[in-house]
């Protein structure tokens, strides 16, 4: 090899090694298919190092194998996880666990943890407000969490107990928050407010500093000319990290009968596929969940005006999603997860009990139905995620 080519090759190898060693660039050896499930019954994170093993077992109607790893700790021994309150940060290799009461636990080295952990270097916690003074007057319950690893931002949904008020916490520098720190709503940079919206149901980070928010109701919205008005459930897309407070909008919001969003909406979830710029939306009509489906909106829909029909719906058997509670997507892989639940018989925010049934769509960007995987043991799923790759 000529000397100049050899020198270039050595420089390229050195650059590659430096990038792999750089902070935040975690090399995952499992191909980005690690499945993390929070089990409310045992207050632990169960881990399958390859989600294909769970998917293939369900597809072949065989027993799902036991988890490859189980992460436990005395500090999460009585955690009541919020619905969808597990988020995986691919960039920093962390798991965030958000409780119904607003405590956030952070587990580091997620792709290698196994057994009980106690070191504060491996598990820390911080608080989204205090138990009383920082809550809505009706009391609060927290919900879906989503992380933008590239920007190191954690988003967490919070609702008043009766759904009459909602907001999304925006925690910047999430991986560097000090153990035991308490954020307060009065510190405006910590949260992104959904303008007067109600019945918050989902949040999904858009890599690069923006996010989507799903709410069941709120103020009547008008097109920019004021000639058309829409009410009911809506999906908001932020701009420059914040939501518009105007009731006259031409873009950034999907609302109206063509969207397929359920109304009344008491629960649901969002999941964003950054590789295909597609937002997965689970927004069932609470009075008729048997007709629920997963809606898919390409990001271009949010610049085409209000009341756009979904780009497509994710295929599944009729009535198959009647018991679905929330969804999750790894952002950089082609998987979609859902968890079944047993409803409490009311529409109160946060109620219901998780089940041991995990729904898995493989290659959802191409459509197709999910498989239902019954996880082994006594398991109550409240949150789930798949580890991605950089």
**Is residue 16 in some structural domain?**
no
Residue-number span of the structural domain to which 171 is assigned: 30-386
Q: What is the pLDDT confidence band of residue 9, given thresholds at 50, 70 and 90?
A: very low
Total structural domains within the chain: 1
pLDDT surpasses 90 at 271: yes
Q: Can you give the pLDDT at residue 191? A: 81
Query: What's the pLDDT band for 186 if we cut at 50, 70, 90?
Result: confident
The H or E element containing residue 99 is strand 94-99
| Residue 334 counted as domain residue | yes
Q: How far, in Å, CA of 373 to CA of 376, rounded?
A: 9
Tell me the CATH number at 170. Answer: 2.120.10.30
pLDDT tens-digit map of 141-151:
999 999 999 99
Residue 12 in domain: no
Q: Give the whole-angstrom CA distance, residue 235 versus residue 203.
A: 9
- How far is it, in rounded angstroms, from Cα 384 to Cα 389? 17
Which residue in 310, 328, 389, 324 sits closest to 364, CA to CA?
A: 328
Q: Tell whether the model's pLDDT for residue 102 goes beyond 60.
A: yes
Question: pLDDT class for 358, splitting at 50, 70, 90?
Answer: very high
Residue 51 lies in a domain: yes
User: Which range, of 94-98, 180-184, 292-296, 317-321, averages the lowest pLDDT?
Assistant: 317-321
Residue 64 pLDDT more than 90?
A: yes
The pLDDT assigned to 135 comes to 86
Tell me the C-alpha distance between 158 and 168, whole Å. 6
Give CA–CA dist 272/274, Å, rounded.
Answer: 6
Query: pLDDT over 70 for what percent of the chain?
Result: 89
Give the model's pLDDT for residue 3: 41
Model confidence at 115: pLDDT above 60 = yes
Classify residue 25: in a domain, yes or no: no
Compute the distance between CA of residue 168 and CA of residue 54 in angstroms, rounded to an integer.
Answer: 33
Task: Report the SS3 class of residue 68.
Answer: coil
Domain membership flag for residue 354: yes
Report residue 347's pLDDT band, with 50, 70 and 90 as the boundaries.
low
In this prediction, residues 120-146 reach a mean pLDDT of 90
Structure tokens at 103: 């405590």
Confidence of residue 17 (pLDDT cuts 50, 70, 90): very low
Q: Considering the domain boundaries, does residue 8 fall inside one?
A: no
In a domain, 4, yes or no: no
For residue 263, the model assigns a pLDDT of 85
Looking up tokens 């207050």 gives: 43
């Amino acid at each position: 090899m000529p000397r100049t080519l050899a020198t270039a090759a050595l420089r390229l190898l050195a650059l590659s090694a430096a990038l792999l060693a750089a902070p935040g660039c975690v090399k995952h050896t499992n191909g980005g298919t690690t499945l993390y499930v929070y089990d409310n019954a045992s207050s632990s994170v169960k881990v399958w190092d390859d989600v294909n093993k769970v998917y293939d077992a369900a597809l072949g109607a065989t027993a799902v194998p036991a988890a490859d790893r189980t992460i436990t700790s005395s500090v999460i021994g009585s955690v009541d996880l919020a619905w969808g309150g597990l988020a995986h940060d691919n960039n920093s290799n962390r798991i965030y666990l958000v409780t119904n009461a607003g405590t956030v636990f952070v587990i580091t080295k997620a792709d290698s943890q196994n057994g009980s952990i106690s070191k504060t270097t491996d598990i820390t916690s911080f608080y989204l407000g205090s138990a009383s003074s920082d809550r809505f007057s009706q009391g609060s319950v927290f919900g879906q969490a989503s992380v933008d690893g590239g920007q190191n931002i954690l988003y967490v949904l919070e609702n008043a107990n009766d759904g009459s008020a909602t907001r999304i916490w925006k925690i910047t520098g999430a991986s560097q928050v000090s153990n035991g720190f308490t954020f307060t709503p009065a510190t405006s940079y910590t949260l992104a407010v959904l303008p007067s919206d109600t019945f918050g149901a989902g949040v999904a980070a858009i890599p690069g500093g923006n996010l989507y928010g799903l709410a069941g109701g709120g103020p009547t919205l008008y097109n920019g000319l004021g000639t058309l008005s829409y009410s009911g459930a809506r999906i908001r897309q932020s701009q420059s990290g914040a939501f518009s407070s105007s009731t006259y909008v031409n873009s950034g919001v999907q609302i109206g009968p063509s969207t397929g969003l359920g109304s009344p909406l008491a629960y649901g979830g969002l999941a964003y596929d950054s590789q295909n710029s597609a937002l997965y939306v689970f927004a069932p009509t609470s009075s008729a969940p048997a007709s629920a489906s997963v809606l898919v909106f390409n990001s271009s829909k949010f610049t085409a005006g209000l009341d756009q029909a979904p780009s497509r719906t994710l295929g599944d058997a009729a009535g198959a999603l009647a018991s679905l509670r929330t969804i999750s997507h790894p952002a950089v892989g082609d998987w979609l997860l859902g968890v079944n639940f047993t409803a409490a018989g009311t529409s109160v925010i946060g109620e219901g009990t998780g089940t041991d049934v995990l729904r898995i769509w493989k290659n959802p960007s191409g459509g197709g139905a999910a498989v239902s995987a019954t996880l082994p043991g006594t398991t109550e799923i409240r949150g789930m995620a798949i580890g991605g790759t950089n």
